[in-house]
Amino acid sequence: MASINPPICDFGWQAPDFNLPSIDGSMVSRDSSMGKNGLLVMFICNHCPYVKAILPRLINDVRELKTMGINAVVIMSNDPTDYQEDSFENMQRIAREMEFPFPYLLDKTQAVAKNYDAVCTPDFFGFNNKGELQYRGRFDESRKETAPNSTRDLFNAMKLVAETGAGPKIQISSIGCSIKWSES
């Protein structure tokens, strides 16, 4: 399981549209997800140790960001063939157990991940309310274990987006497991 770093923010890049099935059976689009002050699009999966290390804190941060007008969606784009933990049924189970405060979406064709140029889990895309990319960095300095007393990079960046419409100029790339691309 190789660690991958995505590129840093391409400020102003427009959020590609999507319309994906949620674990609850509804269809969720970019436009229906946009908050008053922005949207956080996150690519995650269930099996990744990087995601597991941050998930409880990520859930809490997203709840707090929602009060600031930032909505969020999480997208699972992995091919679950070799990682049964990433199956749709396990997506439903994890979301229920962790009480996800955001839609958990399945990108079965992996087209959305490719449109976003997502490369790893977790991979974060923070947009202002005009759909302009303002953050593509790390959650915090955690890796496969939680980094105690770390700065809330993602939270602070999205709070700034909510307040000003612009993200921080200095961003540190996320790190995670590569997206598991299908062979078809």
- Residue 183's pLDDT band (cuts 50, 70, 90): confident
DSSP string, 128-162: ETTSBEEE---SSS-SSS--TT---HHHHHHHHHH
pLDDT at 2 over 60: no
* Average predicted confidence (pLDDT) for the chain: 93
| Interior angle at CA 125, CA 163 and CA 170, nearest 5 | 65
Q: Is the peptide bond before 122 cis (omega within 30 degrees of 0)?
A: yes
The pLDDT, as a whole number, for residue 4 is 67
| pTM recorded for the entire structure | 0.94
Compute the half-sphere exposure of residue 176: CA atoms within 13 Å on the CB side of its CA.
32
> So what's the pLDDT on residue 144?
74
Select from 13, 17, 51 the least CA-distant residue to 33: 17
Half-sphere exposure of 128 (CA within 13 A, CB side): 17
Q: In this prediction, what percent of the chain has a pLDDT beyond 90?
A: 85
Q: Can you tell me which residue has the tokens 């990520």?
A: 58
pLDDT digits (tens, 9 = 90+) for 92-147: 999 999 999 999 999 999 999 999 999 999 999 999 999 999 999 999 987 777 76
- pLDDT for residue 147: 64
